[in-house]
Structure 1
C-alpha cells in the first residue's frame, strides 16, 4: 500500500474518531474535556506503538505510518488545544486556561511514560 494512501485512510479514521468523541462528551462545560481526552489517549497510543518491541513487527512501514501519522496524528490536535487555551484565557478564566495547559502537559507526559512502560514490560517480552 502506498504511504500516502495509508496516511489518507488513517487520517479519515483518526479524524472521525476524534469527532465521535467530541459528540460523545457533551459540551456542557467550559473546560475542553474532549480535546484533553483525545490528546491523552494519543500520547499513550503513539508511545506504546512506537516503543513496543514486537507489537508492530512484521507490519509494512506504510501501514505503520498510516497508523501513527494518519490515525493518531488526525485523532490528536495541538491547534485545537492552543485555540481552546487562548479562548479560556480571554473569555472565561485564566485559572481554567492554566489548569488545561498543566493537565494536558502533565497528563500527556504521564501517559507517554505509561505507554513506554507498558510496551516494554508486556508479558512474553524477552528482555
Structure 2
C-alpha cells in the first residue's frame, strides 16, 4: 500500500515539476535555472511542513516521499550547475549551488516553523 501511495504522489509531482520548470523558464530570459530553483525551494518548504505536522505514515508517503520526491530534483540541479560552469557561466554556477542549498534549507526550516504555528 505504501508503494502505491508513493507512486500516486510521484505521478502528480513529476509532471508538476516539468510544467512549472517550463513555465518559469519561458518567462525568464536568463541562464540561471529559475524553474528548477523554484520547484526545489517549494518542495523543501512542503517537506518541512509535513515533517513538522503530525501526519499519518500514509500521508507522509504520498506527499513527502512521492509528491515532494518527484517535484524536487537534485539530479537536474547538479546537471544545470555543471552545465553553467562548462559554458563559462561560473558565477551563475556558484550562485546556483549556494543559493539552492541555502534557500532550500531555509525553506524547509520555514515549513517546520509554519507547522509549529499551525499545531
Q: Which has the larger radius of gyration?
A: 1
- 1:74 is the counterpart of 2:70: yes
Alignment of 1:33-72 (within 5 A): 33-53=34-54, 56=55, 59=56, 61-72=57-68
Partners of 2:110 and 2:86 lie apart in 1 by 33
Match of 1:83 among 79, 82, 90: 79
Q: Which structure 1 residue ranges, 5 or more long, are not aligned?
A: none
**Which residue in 2 is equivalent to 1:102?**
98
**Which residue in 1 is equivalent to 2:30?**
29
Partners of 1:17 and 1:8 lie apart in 2 by 14
Q: TM-score, normalised by structure 1?
A: 0.86
Matched positions, count: 117
Instruction: Please identify which structure carries the higher helix content.
Output: 2
Point out 4+ residue stretches in structure 1 off by more than 4 angstroms: none
User: Shift of residue 40 of structure 1?
Assistant: 0.3
User: Shift of residue 63 of structure 1?
Assistant: 3.5
Q: What SS is found at the alignment partner of 2:29?
A: coil
User: Shift of residue 23 of structure 1?
Assistant: 2.3
- For 1:44-83, what per-residue CA distance to the aligned partner results, in whole angstroms no more than 9, with x for missing partners? 1001111124xx2xx4x23420211111100000000000
- 1:117 is the counterpart of 2:118: no
User: Shift of residue 85 of structure 1?
Assistant: 0.4
RMSD of the alignment, in Å? 1.3
Q: Which structure 2 residue ranges, 5 or more long, are not aligned?
A: none
Partners of 2:85 and 2:18 lie apart in 1 by 24
- 1:11 is the counterpart of 2:7: no
